[in-house]
Amino acid sequence: MTQYVIGDIQGCLAELNRLLVELAFNPGKDTLWFTGDLVNRGPQSLQTLRLIYQNDGCMQTVLGNHDLHLLALHYGYGKIKRSDTISDILLAPDKNQLLGWLEQQPLMLQQHDFVMVHAGIWPEWSITQAQALAHEVENELHTSPADFFAQMYGNKPDCWHADLQGAERLRFITNVFTRMRALTKKGKLDFDYKSTLAQMPADLIAWFQADRRHNTDKTILFGHWSALGLYRGQNVICLDTGALWGGSLTALNLDDLSTTQIPSQTKLNLENI
């Protein structure tokens, strides 16, 4: 049995199907983790969601920001953006089954020496603390989804305090797991920077480069940061290699940490991320 981790698909089903063929993926034997953002911006979001839903026994995902955006729209919150490609999901005859399944997916998965999230883990959180905080959000999402999505959108608070409560606490935790890339030198979330490490301004750092991180005891697998690409270092591996933007779709073999990539067939404007 082989376990693979695949970066952000975002509706790029052609690349996913080619990658599964290249891996000789056996659904009766092998397993897959996805770093989230199964849908949106790409050409076949509905078909991608159906494929993974139908293979739930051997495929697992964490929730990404685009997945949460889709669910929020389903509950009547947020607005369809010009670049969104998820309207067909919201109109599909099987939308309730698909979105009911998606809603039950976690923010964080663990196995042996690996942890997977969509965007990252706050530097001050240990792996154990991060898992507990992920469960807080998941519990709210499972028990009161409409209330959760009514309060989900927003960039504040931008810094962690253990005494955060209510909607602000849930929003911060959600933003860390699904939207984080850069931090200010003062330790606050920066939601504007989306480019490469080499181009990062002096007043910003990547979340995984923060001093005194408390979560380096396991390797954190994540996506979300397509400009970062395939990155290994600081006990992290980024697997979002920009399938949506003309890059590639990447699979990581957790047994030997080898990678397999399929070139993108979809080329969108990177400025529209």
Mean pLDDT of the chain: 96
> Is the pLDDT assigned to residue 270 strictly greater than 80?
no
Q: How confident is the model at residue 265 (pLDDT cuts 50, 70, 90)?
A: confident
DSSP code, position 267? B
> Is the pLDDT assigned to residue 102 strictly greater than 50?
yes
Strand order of the sheet with strand 219-222?
A: 109-111, 114-116, 219-222, 236-238, 231-233
CA distances from 263 to 9, 37, 245 (A): 12, 18, 10
Q: How confident is the model at residue 203 (pLDDT cuts 50, 70, 90)?
A: very high
269 vs 61 pLDDT, higher one: 61
Q: How confident is the model at residue 272 (pLDDT cuts 50, 70, 90)?
A: very low
Helix (H, G, I), strand (E, B) or coil at 31: strand
> Is the pLDDT assigned to residue 269 strictly greater than 90?
no
> Is the pLDDT assigned to residue 213 strictly greater than 90?
yes
pLDDT tens for 144-163 read: 999 999 999 999 999 999 99
Kindly state the percentage of the chain with pLDDT values over 90: 95
Please state, in angstroms and rounded to a whole number, the distance separating the CA atoms of residues 119 and 189: 12
pLDDT tens for 169-178 read: 999 999 999 9
Domains and CATH numbers, the chain: 3-272 (3.60.21.10)
Please state, in angstroms and rounded to a whole number, the distance separating the CA atoms of residues 121 and 117: 8
CB 70 within 8 A of CB 48: no
Tell me what pLDDT residue 227 has.
97
CA-angle at 41, arms to 40 and 42, nearest 5°: 90
pLDDT tens for 78-101 read: 999 999 999 999 999 999 999 999
Q: How confident is the model at residue 273 (pLDDT cuts 50, 70, 90)?
A: very low
Tell me what pLDDT residue 240 has.
98
Q: How confident is the model at residue 266 (pLDDT cuts 50, 70, 90)?
A: confident
Tell me what pLDDT residue 268 has.
57
| Contacts of 149 by beta carbon, 8 Å cutoff, 6+ apart | 68, 71, 72, 75, 77, 78
> Is the pLDDT assigned to residue 267 strictly greater than 70?
no
Task: Say if pTM beats, i.e. exceeds, 0.85.
Answer: yes
State the average pLDDT over residues 124-150: 98
